[in-house]
């Protein structure tokens, strides 16, 4: 007879004494392993464990609930950790305005055992140096705000697709001058930026390459335009930018707004088959992978982050 949660393989001889029968059953009926939530994302075939999952959030999160499952808020991120996330990157600001949920998200990430990081969305209508100063001041305030369990706070720049390369470099250089850290570079799948990186002089290209490349690609069909075809996969996008030898982080899961509701937009093609939702979460969330082992992720986080301990 099968009972929920147990697997039994005992065979009882017909003349075995009652006590021996009970011992045989107890020894050979072992609890089945507890069920785990589904993995946060599928890994490429043949490379188990080669990706580490990172979540990014802003003041717009959490998005609306779309199904049954685990939930999260800026006050409790345990569901992200349970579903396999290793880190969380919160938006610190955008175009001169600070994000009001950033500190709460990061404190909750630290309590949940997630590596904390911050990004700033750099926009054209505000001085890049002014935005960098606002970002660094926010980072310094966050670093002093609590006793952190994590060793470092990752720094990232999210560069709008219409920015000139000079503005990107101004932001990067200012952040590095004040913190000693070269921020990670998040670039959209932007035709304008691709043309600019391809046309840049050798010195500009070398300076930009110092920042690890965090790419955004949610579909193998997205990004087609009059100059470039759809890149198809992360490697194709790396080749179109013609700047970095490879990518470091990939935002493969985004969120679209359709008829007043948030809908997941997730890459799933070829060898990269990511599920529509992150594990058993009840709502869409922006999702990324880091290309490397847990040890590589920890080293990367400290190399491109400000110390917290």
Mean pLDDT of all residues in 145-151 = 97
At residue 219, the 3 state secondary structure works out as coil
Q: Does residue 8 register a pLDDT over 90? A: no
Mean of per-residue pLDDT scores for the chain = 88
The residue with tokens 């089945």 is: 32
Residue 258 has a pLDDT of 86
Q: 39 burial class (0-12, 13-18, 19+ CB within 10 angstroms)?
A: middle
Report the alpha-carbon distance of residue 97 to residue 75 in Å, rounded.
Answer: 22
Which fold, 51-307? TIM Barrel (3.20.20)
Residue 17 has a pLDDT of 42
Do residues 142 and 153 make contact, with C-beta atoms less than 8 angstroms apart?
yes
Residue 185 has a pLDDT of 98
- How many residues would you count in the chain? 309
Residue 49 has a pLDDT of 52
Structure tokens at 293: 């082992």
Long-range contacts of 203-207 (CB under 8 A, 24+ apart): 204/165, 204/169, 205/243, 207/169, 207/172
Positive or negative torsion for Cα 126, 129, 135, 141: negative
For the chain, the structural domain boundaries read: 1-35, 51-307
pLDDT tens per residue, range 27-86: 343 333 333 444 454 444 334 358 999 999 999 999 999 999 999 999 999 999 999 999
pLDDT tens per residue, range 77-114: 999 999 999 999 999 999 999 999 999 999 999 999 99
Positive or negative torsion for Cα 213, 215, 221, 223: negative
Structure tokens at 154: 């990752």
């Amino acid at each position: 007879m099968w009972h929920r949660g147990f697997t039994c393989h005992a065979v009882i001889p017909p003349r075995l004494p009652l006590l021996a029968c009970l011992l045989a059953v107890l020894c050979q009926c072992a609890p089945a392993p507890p069920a785990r939530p589904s993995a946060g994302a599928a890994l490429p075939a043949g490379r188990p464990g080669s990706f580490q999952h990172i979540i990014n959030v802003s003041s717009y999160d959490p998005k609306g609930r779309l199904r049954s499952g685990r939930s999260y808020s800026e006050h409790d991120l345990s569901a992200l950790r349970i579903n396999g996330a290793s880190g969380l990157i919160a938006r610190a600001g955008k175009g001169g305005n600070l994000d009001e949920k950033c500190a709460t998200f990061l404190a909750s990430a630290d309590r949940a055992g997630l590596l904390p990081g911050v990004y700033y969305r750099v926009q054209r209508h505000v001085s890049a140096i002014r935005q960098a100063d606002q970002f660094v001041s926010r980072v310094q305030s966050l670093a002093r705000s609590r006793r952190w369990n994590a060793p470092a706070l990752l720094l990232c720049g999210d560069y709008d697709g219409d920015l000139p390369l000079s503005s990107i470099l101004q932001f990067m250089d200012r952040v590095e001058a004040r913190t000693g850290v070269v921020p990670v570079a998040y670039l959209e799948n932007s035709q304008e930026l691709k043309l600019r990186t391809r046309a840049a002089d050798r010195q500009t290209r070398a300076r930009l390459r110092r920042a690890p490349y965090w790419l955004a690609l949610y579909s193998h069909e997205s990004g087609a335009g009059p100059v470039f075809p759809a890149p198809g996969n992360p490697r194709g996008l790396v080749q179109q930018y013609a700047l970095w030898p490879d990518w470091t982080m990939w935002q493969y899961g985004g969120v679209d707004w359709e008829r007043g509701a948030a809908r997941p937009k997730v890459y799933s093609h070829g060898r990269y088959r990511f599920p529509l939702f992150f594990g058993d979460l009840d709502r869409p969330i922006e999702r990324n992978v880091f290309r490397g082992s847990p040890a590589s992720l920890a080293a990367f986080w400290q190399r491109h982050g400000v110390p917290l301990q």
